[in-house]
A and B are shown apart, each in its own frame.
Chain A
Amino acid sequence: MTTRELSYSQAVQEALAIALENDPRVFLMGEDIGVYGGAFQVTGDLVARFGEDRVRDTPISELGGAGVAVGAALAGARPVYEFQFSDFATLAMEQIVNQAAKLRFMLGGKVSVPVVFRMPAGSGTGAAAQHSQSLEAWFGHVPGLKVVEPSTPEDAKGMLLAAIDDPDPVLVFEHKLLYKVKGHVPEGSYHTPLNKAAVRREGKNVTMVAAGIMVPKALAAAEVLAGEGIEAEVIDLRSIRPLDMDTIIASVKKTSRLICIHEGVKSYGIGAEISARISESEAFDCLDAPIMRLGGAEVPIPYSPILEKAAVPQEDDIVAGARKLLNGGL
């Protein structure tokens, strides 16, 4: 089999094209996703291929737009709504949290809400505090939602296709700095599970559970640490809700040390949840060191590149964290 490389954004676009091609119920909605091609050129020229009805520019109306997507899903369509920046989902929380997440349950299981929200997220673009957040943990708190965060082009395609075919609402967080990252992407249609973490590197000394953009950073850190004789196991979380604790627990039982790494603010974050669940699991007795969390600083994302970089975990922070953990101190 030939190895074909695509960028993350090309992989997302390919998934959208396959879904549009294969399922007449699928359509895309969002701001400037048509002739403009999307703020990050993810939808590209899809409007030329599939027309303005199915690659639908919306007014700048996030609450209404997200809600229209939910209503269309209730009525048998398969909408994929792109938030131009995931920060703007704050304008649409009502429809995501009160409606999409709860309708199936409130109606006694008589409806499903097969809607997908695409969520370009994260810092590193100099767009400052209102265009750089990582809010996935917020949505992880809501029963009824599924929240995923693919870190590779291959998963970006496979998880989006799985999300579109899923009967329940799925939020797909795409870190904006990953859009240009290239990697192998299989041809054709395939599903990547929405509930399974992936071990990206095996190791015996410390488990690093990383989400989204933190996966390549953790892998780079692991490479540095390997030169020092520290073998890190890197787990790509992939799914925020549900959490694949089986994979994490198995790894911690092997390594006895855990670092949770995510870009979202550390307090009440993904790492807090994983840490708590390890404490509640049989892996707790295997720990040789306290659990470490590396997360976003307790600050809105700053504009200054120096400060922006300092506000989220970097490769050096991960290396330093692992060394500290291995040396028994925190």
Chain B
Amino acid sequence: MDGSDAMKTPKKPGNARPFYARHSKDELKEALRKMWLIRRFEEQAEDSYVRGLTHGTMHLSIGQEASAVGICMDLKNADYITSTHRGHGHCIGKGAEVKYMFAEFFGKEEGYCRGRGGSMHIADPATGNLGANGIVGGGLPLATGAALAIQLRKGKDVAVCFFGDGANNEGAFHESLNMAGVWKLPVIYVCENNQYGMSVSTERSTAVKNVADRAAGYGMPGVIVDGNDIAAVNEAMEAALERARNGEGPSLIECKTYRTRGHSRSDRNRYRTKEEIEEWKGKDPIPAFEAELEKYGILTKDEVEGVRAAVEAELKDAFDFAQAGTNPLVADLTRDVYTTDGAAA
């Protein structure tokens, strides 16, 4: 399964693609910077895991950067997102700083979750990120509830729910989308369909061809985009955002994409072929974006190089900052279980 039949976004000549017309040069450059930041952050996180500097496990989104950035780039801090176990990209996309993310991975007090959450719970409420989630589908009701809170206070903000193809067979998916449809909530469900729920392909797990097909069952539009094409992702997001902010209700966007790394550190890639992985590496969203930026005369080669160099410098500083971080005190073990009562039991 390559998802190519779903990639219907036409490539228009010149700057005709609305994505490039709608965003300033600075915004597009920032989008490229974030994609590189996600990519290089995850590569270095993986490296630190291999070197034994990082505890536990992690789920890498390498190859999926276009959906994280294309979805988040027009959001404000007051807009919420909920993320998944594969959530580093969403976190960076929504505006997190990598130094606090590395610090979290190293279990330091300076980390976003003060070392209590790790990769699978990384969050930054200050930028509207309500957190990655270790439970597949766990974020679906949460984003729906955040959207309900927005609607009740008559706000114009939105809630965006990232989830994977694996979550589309959880009851939480169906219950949440139904309520959002009934109540016309300002929520945008973004399925990053990387085609495998751990090892089981969507063909083997899901009775319909596209997750977006299920949107019809819940009274909302479901659109399919090439998840490796940031412009296509963002254009779909623009339409969904307008709909949500105008009180017209929820949308579902299915980004067809691929993770080139395994599910997690334990993955031996027994369920897919090397050829398939290589084919998708050829559809890498970052060089594709760079090529368009250069083709349309938005960024020069030197400017693209400058973005990469700046990312490397930021990551080096971030890594050093995190390594020098403070270890938690055992005396603080039960802090923050409750807001007011300590560890009362």
Interface positions of A (Cβ within 8 A of B): 24-25, 27, 53-54, 58-59, 61, 63-77, 79, 94-95, 98-99, 103-112, 143-144, 146, 166-168, 195, 241-243
**Which residues of B in the span 91-123 have a Cβ within 8 Å of any Cβ on A?**
111-117, 121, 123
- When the two chains form their complex, are residues A107 and B121 in contact, meaning their CB atoms are under 8 A apart? yes
Q: Give the docked Cα–Cα distance between A309 and B112 (Å).
A: 53
Contacts of B135 in A (CB 8 A): 94, 98-99
- When the two chains form their complex, are residues B345 and A106 in contact, meaning their CB atoms are under 8 A apart? no
B197 interfacial by beta-carbon distance below 8 Å: no
Q: Give the docked Cα–Cα distance between A75 and B149 (Å).
A: 6
- When the two chains form their complex, are residues B339 and A108 in contact, meaning their CB atoms are under 8 A apart? no
> Given that A53-B152, A107-B125, A109-B114 are known contacts, is A74 also in contact with B145, CB under 8 Å in the complex?
yes
Among candidates A54, A68, A112, A243, residue contacting B145 with C-beta atoms closer than 8 Å = A68
- When the two chains form their complex, are residues B141 and A66 in contact, meaning their CB atoms are under 8 A apart? yes
Q: Give the docked Cα–Cα distance between A266 and B27 (Å).
A: 63
- When the two chains form their complex, are residues B336 and A105 in contact, meaning their CB atoms are under 8 A apart? yes
Among candidates A24, A53, A67, residue contacting B172 with C-beta atoms closer than 8 Å = A67
Contacts of A166 in B (CB 8 A): 340
- When the two chains form their complex, are residues A71 and B339 in contact, meaning their CB atoms are under 8 A apart? no
* Binary flags per residue of B175-188, CB closer than 8 Å to A gives 1, else 0: 11011001000000
- When the two chains form their complex, are residues B121 and A67 in contact, meaning their CB atoms are under 8 A apart? no
Interface-central residue, A69, A75, A195, by most chain B CB under 10 Å: A75
Q: Give the docked Cα–Cα distance between A59 and B140 (Å).
A: 16
B142 interfacial by beta-carbon distance below 8 Å: yes
- When the two chains form their complex, are residues A104 and B336 in contact, meaning their CB atoms are under 8 A apart? yes
B131 interfacial by beta-carbon distance below 8 Å: yes
A71-B130, A75-B159, A111-B125 are known; give 8 further A-B pairs, CB within 8 A: A63-B141, A64-B174, A65-B141, A67-B172, A67-B175, A75-B150, A99-B141, A105-B336
Among candidates B80, B146, B172, B339, residue contacting A64 with C-beta atoms closer than 8 Å = B172
Q: Give the docked Cα–Cα distance between A108 and B123 (Å).
A: 9
Give B143's nearest chain A residue, CB to CB.
Answer: A71
> Given that A75-B145, A109-B114 are known contacts, is A64 also in contact with B153, CB under 8 Å in the complex?
no
- When the two chains form their complex, are residues A143 and B343 in contact, meaning their CB atoms are under 8 A apart? yes
B208 interfacial by beta-carbon distance below 8 Å: no
Contacts of B176 in A (CB 8 A): 64, 67-68
- When the two chains form their complex, are residues B125 and A67 in contact, meaning their CB atoms are under 8 A apart? no
- When the two chains form their complex, are residues B335 and A70 in contact, meaning their CB atoms are under 8 A apart? no
> Given that A59-B179, A65-B175, A70-B142 are known contacts, is A76 also in contact with B113, CB under 8 Å in the complex?
no
Interface-central residue, B133, B175, B182, by most chain A CB under 10 Å: B175
Contacts of B175 in A (CB 8 A): 59, 61, 63-65, 67
Sample (5) of A-B pairs whose CB atoms are under 8 Å apart: A71-B144, A76-B153, A95-B141, A108-B117, A144-B337
B10 interfacial by beta-carbon distance below 8 Å: no
> Given that A74-B142, A94-B135 are known contacts, is A68 also in contact with B179, CB under 8 Å in the complex?
yes
Q: Give the docked Cα–Cα distance between A242 and B150 (Å).
A: 33
> Given that A107-B113, A111-B130 are known contacts, is A67 also in contact with B142, CB under 8 Å in the complex?
yes
B338 interfacial by beta-carbon distance below 8 Å: yes
B80 to chain A, nearest CB (A): 6
**Which residues of B in the span 312-345 have a Cβ within 8 Å of any Cβ on A?**
334-341, 343-345
B171 interfacial by beta-carbon distance below 8 Å: yes
B148 interfacial by beta-carbon distance below 8 Å: yes
- When the two chains form their complex, are residues A104 and B149 in contact, meaning their CB atoms are under 8 A apart? no
**Which residues of B in the span 31-54 have a Cβ within 8 Å of any Cβ on A?**
none
Contacts of B80 in A (CB 8 A): 75
Ranked nearest first, the 9 interchain pairs of A and B with the lowest CB-CB distance are A71-B145, A67-B141, A64-B175, A109-B336, A108-B114, A71-B142, A75-B149, A108-B113, A167-B339
Contacts of A58 in B (CB 8 A): 179
Give A243's nearest chain B residue, CB to CB.
Answer: B345
Q: Give the docked Cα–Cα distance between A75 and B339 (Å).
A: 16
B63 interfacial by beta-carbon distance below 8 Å: no
Q: Give the docked Cα–Cα distance between A168 and B174 (Å).
A: 27
